[in-house]
Amino acid sequence: MKKNVSWLAVAFWLVLIAFFAWDWVASDPVNVRQEPPLIAAGSGQAPSGGHCASTF
């Protein structure tokens, strides 16, 4: 059982890392010149991320 669980954990992390690597390569490059301010509060910029509570 322990051996099976270990293989499952290895597969889980490998698939996750593969997904993130594929996504990084396939997505638009990050423009670091448009980096958001470190702290949103007081930045004067409205939040622009997606959230599970929003309908859009």
Please give the residue ranges that form the binding site for another protein (CB under 8 A): 1-2, 5-6, 8-9, 12, 15-16, 19-20, 23-24, 26-28, 30, 32, 35-56
Cβ count near 40 (within 10 Å): 13
Least separation in angstroms between CB 42 and another protein: 6
Nearest to 36 by CA among 23, 49, 54, 20: 49
Least separation in angstroms between CB 36 and another protein: 5
Determine contact, residues 37/43, Cβ cutoff 8 Å: yes
Least separation in angstroms between CB 41 and another protein: 5
